[in-house]
Amino acid sequence: MGLKRTGFKPYMLLPLLPIVAIAFFCIRYNQNIFNYYLPSSNWNDEVIYYKTIGGIVEYGIPQGYFGYNESHAVIGTFGAWSPVIYVFDSIWGKVFGWNLYSPIVARLVFTELCIIFYSVITKPDFNRAVSIILFVSVFPLFARFVVSQMADCYIITLLIVFVGLYEHRDSDSKKNVLALATIVVVLTLIRPYYVLLWLVLGDTHSKIRTKIVEVGIAIASLAGYFIVTRYFTAAYFSDLINLDWLRFIIVNPKDGISNILHIFIDVIAGINEKILLACVSGNDVGCQYLLFYIFSIILLVLCVKTKSVRTWGAWFIINVLQWLSIVLLYDANVGSRHLMPYIIVEGILILNYDIGLRLRIFIILITCYLCFIKLSDPYSMTIPIYSSELDASLQEINRALTDEIEIDDGIGWNNTVLWVLSDIDGSYPWYTLYAIPEGMGINICTYDYVYERFNDLHAKYITCTAGGNVAKLCEESGYRAILIRGDLNICFYSKN
């Protein structure tokens, strides 16, 4: 019986994408997805995400302050990231419960639903569907962020839905524009540069009145991001968005412009170095920048070839402005991760277009070489693997802390633990923070901050390395030792 007679359609292959991508990842890096265990992760941001969601699920909002060097939000208790990123996990946790395996299940389900939506709405043929699956599968960073607690997975999959609606824009135009606009607003509230996506929405209509409304919504959503970060997030160790170059221009225009040129020269030199490393020995920063550049060139070529400035030209302009925003507002090395969603969705957008077979093969092969063959950074490309010893230790720590700590009614420093990043004898084993009671806030503090202001600290609890200077200060000041584990090099103290 032929596939056509069974009702099979080529686009039905696309929902296999998340499974195939994770399988490729596990084969490439010799890992087992079924041994996933979040506390073994190399990424310490994940413990903050995880405990924040736990506090939301348990109490509606964490009862202690998340922040840095005792910073905290004006309203609420969230850390440095926009609270919008917590919405998806919070809904999942409220409905299905929240444990160490919830993040990966939630992301797999959300990714699968978004891919199904994309495949149904765009209906790619066999060649396009297979091309998209292969491209994403040999871009292992996609699979790694699906198998994580980070919010990047949700951003990427929302952008895939956005691209699907964008490709489907010729039908049900009003509904599509509304859905597209909603996604852009949500993404802008998470990360401000997604306001740039409004540039491609102009291709969906031609009414001046609608365009004026869109400009108003874009400005409002961007203002909404800054309002949210001003009042509902805690200040980071340093400004997340760097505007020093702009202040320099205002004060001294001539020297300010010269400063920008030097910034560009330094950044371009640094990126080129990373790209060279990506080609020779593998580097996640370099491979993402090089792919981003390649897709930008392809977008420009498609713009010239099809004479469609409003479509391919708009995507190219978005790439240029995104690159500028990373160079001028963020750190270029960290910013490479912010390029990743664009790389994935633009790759999908191009591969689902009527391009030649040679270009299709080139995109897959260059991605495969840079990201699948060469990329081997253990920090970025290692799935957290289950450890029975770590699991047993976390359970013991959780029981000890739960017996001694009771979450107070209301929000405050009494429900907050200061995590001293490092002491003179080394870094704190932050993965043990997964064991703190739900609802507690984690305020990340530098050693200098804690040591110099020890007598004026606000938080009721301190966790630090055992035997370090901070631990000695706690003992000398009469803090009560709740937990001391020399084998793990941790101790947990409480003010009396």
Q: Could you tell me which of 321, 307, 482, 371 has the C-alpha nearest to residue 144?
A: 371
> What band does 297 get if pLDDT is binned at 50, 70 and 90?
very high
* Count of Cβ atoms closer than 10 Å to residue 174 Cβ: 10
Q: Which residues pair with 494 in a beta bridge?
A: 461, 480
211 or 326, which is more confident: 326
CB count within 10 Å of CB 399 equals 11
What does the pLDDT look like over 450-484, one tens digit per residue? Answer: 999 999 999 999 999 998 899 999 999 999 999 99
- The pLDDT score that the predictor gives to residue 1 is 46
Q: What pLDDT is recorded for position 3?
A: 53
Mean pLDDT value of segment 161-172:
80
Distance CA 109, CA 18 (A): 10
Rounded Cα–Cα distance for residues 435 and 294 (Å): 44
Q: What is the pTM of this model?
A: 0.91
Which of 87, 471, 106, 67 has the alpha carbon at shortest distance from 234?
67
Up-side HSE of residue 166: CA atoms within 13 Å toward CB? Answer: 29
Q: Report the chain's mean pLDDT, rounded to a whole number.
A: 90
Output the pLDDT for position 203: 59
Asked if residue 442 lies in contact with residue 464, where contact means CB atoms within 8 angstroms, the answer is: no
Tokens 């010269």 sit at which residue? Answer: 258
Dump pLDDT digits (tens) for 15-73: 999 999 999 999 999 999 999 999 999 898 999 999 999 999 999 999 999 999 999 99
Question: Which of 381, 358, 346, 290 lies closest to 132 in space, CA to CA?
Answer: 346
Cα–Cα distance list, 15 to 27, 111, 113, 133, 147 (Å): 20, 9, 8, 9, 17
Is pLDDT above 90 for 223? yes
Lowest mean pLDDT among 181-185, 317-321, 368-372, 424-428: 424-428
CA distance 333 to 337: 8
Q: What is the DSSP string of 56-111?
A: HHHHSS-SS--EETT---SSSS--SS-GGGGHHHHHHHHHH---TTHHHHHHHHHH
Query: What local confidence, expressed as pLDDT, does residue 354 receive?
Result: 87
CA separation for the pair 326, 210 (Å, rounded): 30
Q: How confident is the model over 239-257, as pLDDT tens digits?
A: 777 777 778 788 888 888 8
In the predicted structure, residue 168 carries a pLDDT above the cut 90: no
Query: Which residue is it, tokens 């160079």?
Result: 327
Q: Which amino acid is at 311?
A: T
Residue 258 above 60 pLDDT? yes
Which of 222-236, 239-253, 282-296, 460-474 is least confident?
A: 239-253
Angle at 478 between CA 476 and CA 481, to 5 degrees: 100
Structure tokens at 39: 């506390």
Q: Compute the Cα dihedral for 196, 198, 203, 208 and give only its sign.
A: negative
Strand order in the sheet with 441-445: 67-68, 441-445, 416-420, 461-464, 490-494, 480-485
Q: Which of 85-99, 128-142, 230-244, 388-402 has the lowest mean pLDDT?
A: 230-244
Stronger pLDDT, 70 or 333, i.e. the higher one: 70
Using CB atoms within 10 A of its CB, is residue 254 exposed (0-12), middle (13-18) or buried (19+)?
exposed
Give pairs for 90-95: CB < 8 Å, separation 24+: 90/53, 90/56, 90/57, 93/53, 93/54, 93/56, 93/57, 94/57
Name the strand (E) or helix (H) holding 218: helix 208-232
Confidence class for position 358, pLDDT limits 50, 70, 90 = very high
pLDDT digits (tens, 9 = 90+) for 392-423: 999 999 999 999 998 988 899 999 999 999 88
Q: Which helix (H) or strand (E) holds 417?
A: strand 416-420
- Confidence label for 167 from pLDDT (cuts 50, 70 and 90): confident
CA distance 338 to 47: 20
pLDDT digits (tens, 9 = 90+) for 75-94: 999 998 899 999 999 999 99
Between strands 426-427 and 422-423, the pairing is: antiparallel
What's the pLDDT band for 204 if we cut at 50, 70, 90?
A: low
Percent of the chain with pLDDT strictly greater than 90: 68
Lowest mean pLDDT among 71-75, 158-162, 421-425: 421-425
Helix, strand or coil for residue 422? strand
183 band by pLDDT with thresholds 50, 70 and 90: very high
